[in-house]
Structures are given as structure tokens and as C-alpha cells.
Amino acid sequence: MGYLAVVTMIGLLLFRLSRIRLSKEAKQEISGYYLLVAKQKRKRSGKCYGVFQQGEKERTCELPFSLYLDLQVPQRGYLQTKNGKVKSFKIKE
């Protein structure tokens, strides 16, 4: 019975540490060339999100409504984000 408690505590600790790491990662500034692979609009909150991909990494960031309307999927451009919100997405023409 003691082993079960120890394993449970270690599992909870690892879960908590992974959540902390993810929250720190979301607060970073991100910039680089990304591919917009999907757009989403949440009906309840009214917020718009874009799913950006760079290699194997995928990031979901909040989009301003004007960008949500202007962008087509798939589209490649230079992405700049801060705190999980898109500051700019510039497309080479």
C-alpha cells in the first residue's frame, strides 16, 4: 500500500512540473518562419486562434480578428508572438 502512495505522489509531482514548464513556454516571445496550418474560432469566448507549425513543433496562439479574416490556410510567414498572442504575421509576396 505504501508503494502505491509513493508512485502516486511521484506521478503527481511529474505532472505538476510538466504543467509549470508549459506555462513558462507560453509566456515566451516567439519569432521565426512558421506555417499557418489551421484557424479556429471559439464560439463561447469569441476568440480566434491560429495553429502554427515549424518542423515538428506546433503552437496555438491567439489571433486578432482582423488577421483571422485576412489569413488563408496554409500560409507561410514570419510570426512574432508574446504571451501566446500574435503580434504580427508577415507574409513574403
Domain total in the chain = 1
The reported pTM is 0.66
Cα dihedral across residues 14, 81, 58, 44: positive or negative: positive
Please state, in angstroms and as integers, the Cα–Cα distance from residue 54 to each residue in 57, 59, 71, following that order.
Answer: 5, 9, 17
Distance CA 47, CA 14 (A): 31
pLDDT confidence of residue 23: 62
Helix or strand run (H / E) with residue 9: helix 2-26
**Domain region containing 75:** 28-90
**Whether residue 64 has pLDDT greater than 60:** yes
Using an 8 Å Cβ cutoff, are 48 and 64 in contact?
yes
- Asked if residue 66 is part of any domain, the answer here is yes
Q: What's the CATH number where 52 sits?
A: 2.40.50.660
- Asked if residue 35 is part of any domain, the answer here is yes
**What 3-state DSSP class applies to 65?**
helix
Q: Among the listed ranges 6-20, 49-63, 77-91, which one has the minimum average pLDDT value?
A: 6-20
